[in-house]
Amino acid sequence: MNIVLFDLDNTLIKGDSDHEWGNFLVENNYVDQRIYKEKNNNFFEQYKNGTLCPKEFALFSYEPLTKYSYEKLLDIREKFFEEKIIPLVLPKALKLVNYHKNNNDILAIVTATNSFISRVTADFFNIKHLLASEPEFVNNKFTGNMLGEPCFKDGKVTKVQEWMKVNKLSEFKEIYFYTDSHNDIKLMEFCTRPIAVDPDEILKKTSIDNKWEIISLR
């Protein structure tokens, strides 16, 4: 048995679902267009540069979730997924996921994108296990706070270790991890089969230096 971990954004899909969610909220007037768009773009640049504070971003990105009922948010999320995410799904990613399923591997998505946004994509890929940043949800409403630590950089390693312990996944052949981002280097170092997928420049260089496999799903 293998454990197979997938980053979500720019790995299984050719885009960033957190950033696209922000764009969708702006385009449909769910948030202040000018202010939110600028901040959303600034946070995205920080993520790409490796300077993002995940807790600061969480407070920003979770705030719109507090403005609407859960039922309304589900409706917004469904439209977002159909309009923004479905066109970004990579056919080769679907084939890769199915390959590991057919191999009877245990699959999980490990993403910094919050679980409310990323759950629909995990369901689309039919991947049951989702390790993500968790927005606090109390009395059928989002509070705007984060529950626990962000699933980002070292936090991804912690999430995976906790998940493996809870699910008693101590016996395995390999731990695969597919990702595009240098923000995931810590988790790649933790896994036995780190695989860079259409990597950014920093991850590409690190992968070459460490003789990690590099593939393309584009």
| Domains, the chain | 3-215 (3.40.50.1000)
Query: Which tokens belong to 167?
Result: 């699910």
For residues 16-43, give the mean pLDDT: 95
User: Are 5 and 187 spatial neighbours (Cβ–Cβ below 8 Å)?
Assistant: yes
| Proportion of the chain above pLDDT 90, given as a percent | 97
Provide the 10 A C-beta neighbour count for residue 104.
8
Residue 34 has pLDDT above 90, yes or no: no
CA gap 37, 181 in Å, rounded? 23
Q: What is the mean pLDDT of the chain?
A: 97
Residue 80 has pLDDT above 90, yes or no: yes
Which positions are catalytic?
Answer: 7, 9
For residue 155, what pLDDT band results from cuts at 50, 70 and 90? very high
- Per-residue model confidence as pLDDT tens digits over 62-79: 999 999 999 999 999 999
Q: Check residue 41 and give its pLDDT.
A: 95
For residues 92-113, give the mean pLDDT: 98
- Per-residue model confidence as pLDDT tens digits over 187-216: 999 999 999 999 999 999 999 999 999 999
CA within 13 Å, CB half, 206? 19
| Proportion of the chain above pLDDT 70, given as a percent | 100
- The residues, ordered by sequence, that sit 6+ positions from 7 with a Cβ below 8 Å of its Cβ are 109, 110, 111, 177, 178, 179, 180, 181, 184, 197
Tell me which of 44-53, 179-188, 208-217 is least confident. Answer: 44-53
Query: Which tokens belong to 129?
Result: 């296990």
Residue 81 has pLDDT above 90, yes or no: yes
Measured in Å, how far apart are the chain's first and last C-alpha atoms? 27
Q: Check residue 12 and give its pLDDT.
A: 98
User: Are 162 and 108 spatial neighbours (Cβ–Cβ below 8 Å)?
Assistant: no
CA gap 196, 218 in Å, rounded? 13
Phi/psi at 93 (5° precision): -70, -40
Choose among 188, 215, 9, 1: nearest CA to 92. 215
Choose among 155, 147, 74: nearest CA to 110. 155
For residue 84, what pLDDT band results from cuts at 50, 70 and 90? very high
- Amino acid, res. 206: T
CA gap 105, 91 in Å, rounded? 20
- Per-residue model confidence as pLDDT tens digits over 130-146: 999 999 999 999 999 99
For residues 18-43, give the mean pLDDT: 95
Please list the residues that pair with 5 across neighbouring strands.
108, 177
N residues, the chain: 218
